[in-house]
Chains A and B, each alone.
Chain A
Amino acid sequence: MNMNYVRPRDLAEAFAFLAENGRDTTIIAGGTDVMVDLRSGELDTRFLLDISRLDELKGIRLEGENLVVGATTTLSDIYHSELLTQYAPALQKSAYNFASTQIRNVATIGGNVAHCSPCGDTVPPLVIHETKVVFSGKKGERRIPIEEVATGPYRCFLEKDEIITAFILKPVEADFADFQKIGRRKDLAISRLSMAVMVDRDSDGIISSMKFSLGACTPTPHRMTAVEEFMTGKKVTCELLFEGGKLLAEKMIEITGRRPSIIYKEPAVQGLFVRMLYPVV
């Protein structure tokens, strides 16, 4: 019941605090998930460790071969970043319909990933960029593939004494990249389904490479390699898109089984796939 708020001066202090109190601590960044869970009673914690003002965790930059996004980068920063327009446009687009301006101004990418909601909008774009997530603590750091961060819905692979400090993406200037989602209304809606894609084509318009990830439909994020392989080496037509979408729906059902929501999601996943890739036709 009694909760203490702690704001470390730097990352080292945050690590030290977690090393000692990790079990009783919840990290808070933008707080847009934490505050909701506190109010509903789902979350009960002794310490709130506020990392939102640690400069070491902020910023988007190119480092050699890598595109590095700091964990407390806000969705608004992502929305406005020119580097992302160039090297990770799908990630940027995931910020467009993310919540509302007010939420985007505080919500962070680190919180979005660490919360491990199946509906996290930044996750499918991070998947197609083959992102490594940097988990750091007093003992050092480890780099975990984005697909392994969530061990299940709302369950994070993170140890109690670790913080996500950054995301390391493969920067790509693809021919075509996009993120799309469907919600119950046009803004401020959690994704019922979402997807991210990058496509490169050769001079004949044949897909030479494709990366595709589905969001909100499966308990944890998945790159859909079967769909990527099916599409690669083919010329994109409307028929092909419908076939690819159908395969996608099949693969999704292999993972989720036939739950009641499938009645909608099966055709909608196919439909959204077609709509998203139609500009490539």
Chain B
Amino acid sequence: MNKKYRSVGRSIRKKGGVEKVKGDPVFAGDIELDNPLVLKVKRSAYAHALIRNINTEEALKIDGVKGVFTSKDIPGVNLLGIINRDQPLLAEERVRSLADGIALVAAETEEAAQLGIDAIHVEYEKLPAVFNPVEALKDGAPKIHAKGNVLFTRAVLKGNADDGFEKAYSIIEKEYTTSAIEHNYMEPDAGAGFVDEDGCLVIYASTQNPHYDHKELVSLFALEDENVRIIQAATGGGFGSKLDLNVQGFIGLALLHLKVPVRYVYSREEAYLATAKRHPFTIKIKTATDRDGRLIATRVRAVCNTGAYGSYGIAVASRSAVHGTGPYSVENVDIEVKCVYTNQTYCGAMRGFGAPQMALAHESQMDLHAEVLGIDPLAIRLLNGLEVGSLSGTGQLLTSSVGFKDCLHAIAPYYEEAKKSWVSTCSTPFKRRGVGLGAMWYGIGNTGVQNPSTARVTMEPDGTVTVFTGCAELGQGSTTVLCQIVAEILGISPDEISMVVGDTRYTTNAGATSASRQTYISGNAVKDAAESLANVLLTEAVNRLQVPKNTLVLENGEVTTTGNPDCGIGIAVLAGRIHDKGGVLSWQGYFDPETVPLDPKTGAGVPYATYAFACQMAMVEVDTLTGEVTVEKVVAAHDVGRAIHPENVVGQICGGVAMGVGFALMEKFEQGKTESMKDYHIPTASDVPEVVAIIVESEEPTGPFGAKGVGEPALIPTAPAVINGISSALNYRIYDLPASLERVLEASIQAGHFGVQEE
């Protein structure tokens, strides 16, 4: 990279960072409204039942209760779902899980709302329920949706797997399982709203997706676009679960009928009960190598449990199938992932969309192959790793920005050192140390479907710049990154740019803040708009400076000619002149990554325009007497294309590792048992290892300044690295997540480490 950037690549102060430290941003639960009513949802008493009758009369008589609503009060289409519509806002004739809402109460106080809920009488006819997806696939299993229990199947086929296994030197076949995971964002779901003087429903929401929320509400209530306005409130984390319509629909329903301010803040218990989880997977995988360790075939049969509704289940199944090979070149591929309905709480998007689950399988397999062949885990990854010119499982030719091996090389010195001097210097008997690797690839953006972003960049005649973007900022830093990109193009300081973010009245659709897509896709959209604006500024400057356009640059708030810094003109002057002439100073930008939809039978296609790559190494110490595991250190190398804001990238990596440690060692959501953080353990600061983050920049030609994404990739390699670390410490492998005290101690006993140690 020879060009010196002024904004891009610098860890500038986060937009709104100072305000956040001072406590200024207003979260949805803190929005001040005039005497808002509080809302509460009556949820199902059964995991599967028909509703015979809902009696709300008693509830309506309760002091302070202002309204009780059921599905009958929903004037539009009572179905939610961004990918497939199968989830009613409020149940009609059937409930499919304990999370299902049946009626909504609006009341003056929390107490009255609760009394109202208790006073609603629902007559059910209980139906047999099924919780295990394998059971749900059997003939005669309770049918959860009219179309049957299979939501979606994604196959990825390449070459001939049977031939591959025929020729193989070594074949390993195993089964892996992962647990349902609660996102556990710091801020439980919340929203508040009122009806403005034009009759528009104005809703502040904690969301990853204001423009989708808007679309859903318009459809639910059969309203015109302009009659719904969603404003993203300051949002305290989402991790995928705030892609769903959690409280927004209920707020809208109450506003529609009552026309007075309302608010709804989930308790932690309600967020646990009623919002999406990470899909638990059962993965059967069979992989084969030749004598040298080259992967020649992989066959995967995986089932993921989407619970009662689709939510983002189709995306999870599709992405996990595409990523089933891992970041490796495999000649013969036969992958099938089925996404199955059950009566569990629905599962949806969570950081990685199925790729973290799949990574446990492919990364464990890599280590197993290495062991059988007597080669090093790093070497086998280098041997098989994707590179420019590789063909993916979907037959996509990778043409650029494949920094996978760079990541492996970046890890190598730490890895060799840890193996040489750390593993053997274990401080106490009854502890064993191991070093494990986990690798991943991750397609940026949605899988084989259009997922454009739009944005507007506007300059006032006095030269001040405003960026309008629908891109939800969740604390990850997208607003800052988008600002940096515009600042770079326009040659001004990021401080001079105002950002208008996530307000459907003023911003246009940027798609969801998910799939690690915003830096790449919305980054390109703002870049496109800023370039259009830059172009008119430069054109105007040609007039003034009388030099060819290709010698002009935007720098320090001026247009100057290269090589002659004295000859320049301020952009404010140019903006004024353009304005006076009736020129355009407000430009819309657009970007949609080029993809080719996947063939429904073979999965062939180009699911993503670009991929992120990573490898992490975990240094793990296992207490062989108790099953306690300490992750001492994680070294994480991530190819992000280009780090627009390096500190943000490091932040994502550290957070991803923390979350990955939870996925690996302790997190497990069990419906009916797990109520809140009292019985669901996420890592504390003491559980999180030291993280050494290494940024690898293999520039993506279609990315804004070469950038790709890192949000989800940060998490994906951690759990397999920890599991491989435990396996190497114990010489015994764990195939099921989480690697709890029980599983690790059992492994230690099975491996013969529980007992008197010989010095």
Judged by a CB distance under 8 angstroms, whether B740 is at the interface is yes
Please tell me if the beta carbons of B756 and A239 are within 8 angstroms of each other in the complex: yes
CB nearest neighbor in B for A270: B625
* Known contacts A185-B666, A278-B429; is-contact A264 B684 (Cβ 8 Å): no
Judged by a CB distance under 8 angstroms, whether B147 is at the interface is no
Chain B residues within an 8 Å CB radius of A267: 745, 749, 754
Judged by a CB distance under 8 angstroms, whether A87 is at the interface is no
* Known contacts A239-B756, A271-B745; is-contact A185 B684 (Cβ 8 Å): yes
Q: B758 CB to closest chain A CB, in angstroms? A: 10
Judged by a CB distance under 8 angstroms, whether B646 is at the interface is no
Judged by a CB distance under 8 angstroms, whether B546 is at the interface is no
Q: A242's contact among B678, B741, B746, B755, by CB below 8 Å, is which?
A: B755
Judged by a CB distance under 8 angstroms, whether B131 is at the interface is no
Judged by a CB distance under 8 angstroms, whether A36 is at the interface is yes
Interface string of A241-268 (1 = CB under 8 A from B): 0100000000000000000000110011
Please tell me if the beta carbons of A268 and B686 are within 8 angstroms of each other in the complex: no
Please tell me if the beta carbons of B742 and A263 are within 8 angstroms of each other in the complex: yes
Judged by a CB distance under 8 angstroms, whether B221 is at the interface is no
* Known contacts A242-B756, A267-B754; is-contact A185 B625 (Cβ 8 Å): no
Judged by a CB distance under 8 angstroms, whether B544 is at the interface is no
Q: How large is the interface on A (under 10, 10 to 19, 20 to 34, 35 or more residues)?
A: 20 to 34
Chain B residues within an 8 Å CB radius of A185: 665-666, 681, 683-684, 686-687
CB nearest neighbor in B for A188: B684
A-B contact count (CB 8 A): 66
Chain A residues within an 8 Å CB radius of B428: 278
Please tell me if the beta carbons of A238 and B756 are within 8 angstroms of each other in the complex: yes
* Known contacts A185-B687, A186-B684, A275-B430; is-contact A268 B756 (Cβ 8 Å): no
Q: A187's contact among B625, B685, B741, B746, by CB below 8 Å, is which?
A: B685
Please tell me if the beta carbons of B754 and A271 are within 8 angstroms of each other in the complex: yes
Judged by a CB distance under 8 angstroms, whether A274 is at the interface is yes
CB nearest neighbor in B for A193: B626
Please tell me if the beta carbons of A268 and B745 are within 8 angstroms of each other in the complex: yes
Q: B745's contact among A186, A187, A264, by CB below 8 Å, is which?
A: A264
Judged by a CB distance under 8 angstroms, whether A170 is at the interface is no
Judged by a CB distance under 8 angstroms, whether B568 is at the interface is no
Please tell me if the beta carbons of A274 and B625 are within 8 angstroms of each other in the complex: yes
Give the docked Cα–Cα distance between A268 and B628 (Å). 10
Give the docked Cα–Cα distance between A121 and B628 (Å). 19
Judged by a CB distance under 8 angstroms, whether B623 is at the interface is yes
* Residues 674-711 (chain B) with a chain A CB within 8 angstroms: 678, 681, 683-687
Please tell me if the beta carbons of B627 and A264 are within 8 angstroms of each other in the complex: yes
Judged by a CB distance under 8 angstroms, whether B2 is at the interface is no
Q: A264's contact among B625, B678, B741, by CB below 8 Å, is which?
A: B741
Q: Which of B626, B665, B740, B745 counts the most A-chain CB atoms under 10 A from its CB?
A: B626
Q: B757's contact among A184, A238, A268, by CB below 8 Å, is which?
A: A238
Give the docked Cα–Cα distance between A264 and B626 (Å). 9
Chain B residues within an 8 Å CB radius of A188: 684
Interface string of B613-635 (1 = CB under 8 A from A): 00000000001111110100000
Can you list 14 A-B contacts (CB < 8 A)?
A184-B740, A185-B665, A186-B686, A189-B681, A238-B756, A264-B741, A264-B742, A268-B627, A271-B430, A271-B625, A271-B754, A275-B626, A278-B429, A278-B430
Q: Please name the 10 residue pairs, one residue from A and one from B, whose CB atoms are nearest each other, closest first.
A: A271-B625, A186-B686, A187-B684, A187-B686, A264-B742, A238-B756, A184-B681, A271-B626, A186-B687, A185-B687
Since A242-B755, A275-B625 are in contact, a sample of 12 more A-B pairs with Cβ atoms closer than 8 Å, ordered by chain A residue number, is: A182-B626, A186-B686, A187-B685, A238-B757, A267-B749, A268-B626, A268-B627, A271-B430, A271-B626, A271-B745, A272-B625, A278-B429
B interface with A by C-beta (< 8 Å): 428-430, 623-628, 630, 665-666, 678, 681, 683-687, 740-742, 745-746, 749, 754-757
